């Protein structure tokens, strides 16, 4: 089965397009370039027209889009074209002063994806033959034909072919790819090659077929078929002209005697080169090149003068200057002169540059790798169907919105930043009771006969002595002893645990743990419950009261956990504290979350309950000096640098990271995360920390604590010896022990 997009190459009935503000007629099937030539003009500037998409000599601004190949653009009524005959380079359309803060408005680009057995790029004889052969084998075939408006602009690993069509972008995912793009015609390089009135032989055939007369035409080299012209013998020397149009062609015989032939049009049959840009773009992508695109074609004779690269304007003299400076390879010469770096990526000049180098080295250099995009495409086309990462929503998302929450993206989730009054949210936690949506925390269930052994190896704390019904705070280290994540180890049974992780670190932690357990060959089952269980943190001095009202009869003591119904919802209740107050995380099925949230809100109405967002949580944890992995830490933060040696038990024989910690413990350290206090307003996160006028670190989080009456903050000192007094925002800050608030932890345990 052959699946071809139904794209007509041109309007079936003709009509009028607008070129430089003037309407002109076009005929049925005309491209924009042919329509322009039909009225005696050139689509962009002079230079040889190939009308096959190989060069950049017909680019213009079409319907506001710059750098469009008009020979590959079907004319349709009302289409507007702006030429720039002075230099041939369309300017980007800018009107007025652009508002750089405005959200860009792009057309929505439709994208289709198709999966086929065989994709064939090229609708010529080779492409059709390849399609027929594949169809005989019962394969699903898609032929992509540039002349039908299906322009393959990129080949990526996958493989994926990115195709621009008049209906939008097409992403093709084939099992096999055949490049059958044929051969391009050689452009002339000599004085006068930028004049109008020069056509390749096949361009002449196309114009003739479109009913366009080519008066006073002379042909050099292989003449076009069926086009009336006078053949001129000899070697091409130069074109002569006036007012930008060709008036004569000068040739030379074998002994150098020149002949001038007056003409209005020159038809050039100078040879062919493989149209293999997509094949050269593919790199390691497996594909087959068929037909003329796969053939070796003779290179043109080495040029001696004139413009080599019509796109960049690089001349033969430019090549020589660069060569004499030592740029004596194709890749170097390309970069030094910009030849082959224009809109056609060497479509017009690459054979000439290779021939020119071969004449000097005796070896023909291999063509260079081509890069996407093979055609100019807009940012909207390039970005079409490219999605930002999907940010997850907790089951309480709509509840947060209903409460007026300002939502933002954190750790791969949409989370409430605040509900309008973060200070009131802070006080609700400190003095009453508050609810926090912590559904985003990572949650793994691990079970198996080797689970204790696995966790002992994975974590730097002891695990075997955690009793069923109890939990322990734990760091997760990599082999270098750097902190990757943190969370709780919660023992459910002799051989079953629940592990929690940070919201942003959960996915990585899961992969890490699976990988190690597989590596060790331990018998441990793992189930990720992160998106199956929601969690609500009930925190504040009245949290226990609220939970008792909700039916929790057995309130676990600090670091304990129970499974119980809360407000009729089955929950795994874990007692811990990140806020510094008594806190209970209620892990429960996601489909019961709204019910639980609303019940707790109702039951706590007279207790001063209100939800808190991340902004208040940041303040609360800062007063406790709690570190947030990824916010306060850096990629190479060790427990020592974070002041968290309490979470590491070097009396264990081995755990991931132990060897590195043992080695680095003997080395001097130049980095340390400190607690600081200072007066005045809280400095911004990232503010430099100075000592003696030098920057020695930066602030990772700060908060002007209304309870403590001063600013508390965490920040790095990255220069030894560490000092006790620093300067932040021009004010003195003192290194202070953490926690700043309730250092004995009495409130969390209450």
Partner 1 sequence: MLALERLRGLRVVADPAALDAARWDGDPAEPVVLRFAPDDAFGLGARAVKVDDEHAIMEPEVGFVGAWLSPAALDDVLSRTEWPLPAARPALAQGLIAGVPAKLWLPTEGDALLLTAAAHADELGMRLR
Query: 747 by DSSP, 3-state: which?
Result: helix
Q: Partners of 173 in the beta sheet?
A: 115
Indicate the residue among 102 and 388 with the shorter CB distance to partner 1: 388
Indicate the residue among 72 and 593 with the shorter CB distance to partner 1: 593
Min separation Cβ 485 and partner 1, Å: 19
Min separation Cβ 527 and partner 1, Å: 5
Indicate the residue among 115 and 731 with the shorter CB distance to partner 1: 115
Min separation Cβ 142 and partner 1, Å: 13
Query: 366 by DSSP, 3-state: which?
Result: coil
Which run of H or E residues covers position 715? strand 710-717
Min separation Cβ 169 and partner 1, Å: 11
Phi-psi region of 247 (alpha: psi -120 to 50; beta: other; left: phi over 0): alpha
Give just the sign of the alpha carbon dihedral 302, 305, 306, 311: positive
Indicate the residue among 164 and 171 with the shorter CB distance to partner 1: 171
Largest CA distance in the chain: 111
Indicate the residue among 497 and 741 with the shorter CB distance to partner 1: 497
* Euclidean distance between CA atoms 738 and 17, whole angstroms: 74
422-431 helix and 614-624 helix, angle to the nearest 10 degrees: 50
Min separation Cβ 462 and partner 1, Å: 22
The answer to whether the CB of 570 falls within 8 A of the CB of 589 is yes
Min separation Cβ 401 and partner 1, Å: 12
* Euclidean distance between CA atoms 610 and 612, whole angstroms: 7
Query: 690 by DSSP, 3-state: which?
Result: strand
Min separation Cβ 167 and partner 1, Å: 13
Which run of H or E residues covers position 735? strand 731-736
Could you tell me how far CA 269 lies from the centroid of its own chain?
A: 44
Contacts of 683 (CB under 8 A, 6+ apart): 699, 702, 711, 713, 728, 729
Min separation Cβ 136 and partner 1, Å: 20
* Euclidean distance between CA atoms 270 and 280, whole angstroms: 23
Min separation Cβ 2 and partner 1, Å: 18
Min separation Cβ 102 and partner 1, Å: 23
The answer to whether the CB of 61 falls within 8 A of the CB of 36 is no
Burial classification of residue 273, based on how many CB atoms lie within 10 Å of its CB (0-12 exposed, 13-18 middle, 19 or more buried): buried
SS (H, E, C) 260-284: EEECCEEEEECCEEECCHHHHHHCC
Min separation Cβ 590 and partner 1, Å: 6
* Euclidean distance between CA atoms 745 and 750, whole angstroms: 9
The residue ranges that bind partner 1 (CB under 8 A) are: 111-115, 158, 160, 171, 173, 175, 385-395, 397, 413, 445, 447-449, 495-496, 523, 525-527, 529, 531-533, 589-591
SS (H, E, C) 554-609: CCCCCCEEEEEEECCEEEEEEEECCCCCCEEEEEEEHHHHHHHHHHHHHHCHHHCC
């Amino acid at each position: 089965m052959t699946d071809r997009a139904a794209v007509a190459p041109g309007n079936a009935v003709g009509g009028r397009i607008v070129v430089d503000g003037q309407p002109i007629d076009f005929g049925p099937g005309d491209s924009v370039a042919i329509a322009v030539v039909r009225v005696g003009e050139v689509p962009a500037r002079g230079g040889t027209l190939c009308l096959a998409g190989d060069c950049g000599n017909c680019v213009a601004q079409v319907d506001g889009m710059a750098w469009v190949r008009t020979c590959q653009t079907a004319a349709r009524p009302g289409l507007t074209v702006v030429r720039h005959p002075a230099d041939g380079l369309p300017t980007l359309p800018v009107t007025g002063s652009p508002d750089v803060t405005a959200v860009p408005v792009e057309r929505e680009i439709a994208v289709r994806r198709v999966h086929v057995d065989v994709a064939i790029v090229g609708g010529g004889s080779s492409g059709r033959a390849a399609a027929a052969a594949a169809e005989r084998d019962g394969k699903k075939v898609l032929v992509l034909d540039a002349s039908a408006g299906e322009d393959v602009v990129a080949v990526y690993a996958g493989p994926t072919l990115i195709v621009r069509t008049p209906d939008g972008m097409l992403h093709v995912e084939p099992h096999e790819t055949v490049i059958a793009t044929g051969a391009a015609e050689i452009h002339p390089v000599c004085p006068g090659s930028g004049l109008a009135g020069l056509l390749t032989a096949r361009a002449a055939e196309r114009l003739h077929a479109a009913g366009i007369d080519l008066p006073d035409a002379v042909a050099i080299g292989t003449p076009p078929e069926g086009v009336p012209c006078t053949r001129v013998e000899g070697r091409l020397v130069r074109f002569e002209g006036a007012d930008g149009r060709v008036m004569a062609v000068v040739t030379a015989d074998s002994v150098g005697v020149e002949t001038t032939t007056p003409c209005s049009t020159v038809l050039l049959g100078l040879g062919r080169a493989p149209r293999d840009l997509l094949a050269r773009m593919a790199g390691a992508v497996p594909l087959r090149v068929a037909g003329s695109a796969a053939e070796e074609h003779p290179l043109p004779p080495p040029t001696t003068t004139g413009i080599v690269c019509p796109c960049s304007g690089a001349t033969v003299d430019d090549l020589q200057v660069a060569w004499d400076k030592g740029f004596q390879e194709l890749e170097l010469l390309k970069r030094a002169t910009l030849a082959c770096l224009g809109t056609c990526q060497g479509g017009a000049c690459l054979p000439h540059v290779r021939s020119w180098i071969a004449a000097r080295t005796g070896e023909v250099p291999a063509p260079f790798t081509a890069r996407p995009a093979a055609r100019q495409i807009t940012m909207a086309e390039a970005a079409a169907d490219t999605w930002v990462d999907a940010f997850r929503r907790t089951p309480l998302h709509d509840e947060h919105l209903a409460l007026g929450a300002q939502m933002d993206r954190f750790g791969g989730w949409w989370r409430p930043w605040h509900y309008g009054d973060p200070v009131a949210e802070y006080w609700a936690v400190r003095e009453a009771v508050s609810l926090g949506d912590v559904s985003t925390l990572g949650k793994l269930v691990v079970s198996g006969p080797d689970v204790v052994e696995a966790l002992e190896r994975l974590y730097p704390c002891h695990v075997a002595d955690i009793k069923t019904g109890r939990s322990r705070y734990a760091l997760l280290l990599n082999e270098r002893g750097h902190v990757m994540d943190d969370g709780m180890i919660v023992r459910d049974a002799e051989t079953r645990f629940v592990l929690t992780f940070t919201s942003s670190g959960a996915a990585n932690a899961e992969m890490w743990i699976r990988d190690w357990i597989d590596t060790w060959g331990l018998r441990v089952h793992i189930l990720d419950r992160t998106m199956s269980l929601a969690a609500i943190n009930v925190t504040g001095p009245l949290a226990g009261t609220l939970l008792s009202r909700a039916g929790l009869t057995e309130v676990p003591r600090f670091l304990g956990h129970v499974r119980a119904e809360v407000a009729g919802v089955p929950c795994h209740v874990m007692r811990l504290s990140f806020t510094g107050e008594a806190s209970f995380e209620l892990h429960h099925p996601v489909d019961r979350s709204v019910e639980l949230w609303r019940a707790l809100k109702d039951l706590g109405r007279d207790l001063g309950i209100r939800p808190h967002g991340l902004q208040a949580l940041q303040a609360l944890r800062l007063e406790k000096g709690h570190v947030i992995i990824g916010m306060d830490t850096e990629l190479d933060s060790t427990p020592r640098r974070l002041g968290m040696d309490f979470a590491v038990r070097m009396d264990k024989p081995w755990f991931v990271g132990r060897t590195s910690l043992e080695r680095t413990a003997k080395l001097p350290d130049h980095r340390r995360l400190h607690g600081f206090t200072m007066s005045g307003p809280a400095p911004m996160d990232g503010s430099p920390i100075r000592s003696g006028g030098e920057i020695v670190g930066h602030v990772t989080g700060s908060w002007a604590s209304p309870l403590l009456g001063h600013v508390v903050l965490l920040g790095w000192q990255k220069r030894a010896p560490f000092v006790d007094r620093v300067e932040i925002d021009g004010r003195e800050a003192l290194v202070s022990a953490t926690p700043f608030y309730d250092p004995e932890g009495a409130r969390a345990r209450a």
